[in-house]
Amino acid sequence: EWLHSICGIVDIRLFGNSFSGTLSSSMGELTALKLLSLYGNRLEGTIPTEMGLMTALTFLSFAQNMMSSSIPSSISNLSNLFHLSFCNNEKLSGSIEQLCNTTTTKRFHYQVDRKPSIICSCCVPC
Euclidean distance between the first and the last CA atom of the chain, given in angstroms as a whole number: 36
| pTM for this predicted structure | 0.85
Distance CA 107, CA 20 (A): 34
The amino acid at 5: S
- Surface-to-core class of residue 67, CB atoms within 10 Å of its CB (0-12 exposed, 13-18 middle, 19+ buried): buried
Provide the residue-wise pLDDT of the chain in tens; the chain has 126 residues: 445 556 678 999 998 999 999 999 988 989 999 999 999 999 999 999 999 999 999 999 988 999 988 889 999 899 888 888 888 887 888 888 888 877 554 444 455 555 567 777 777 777
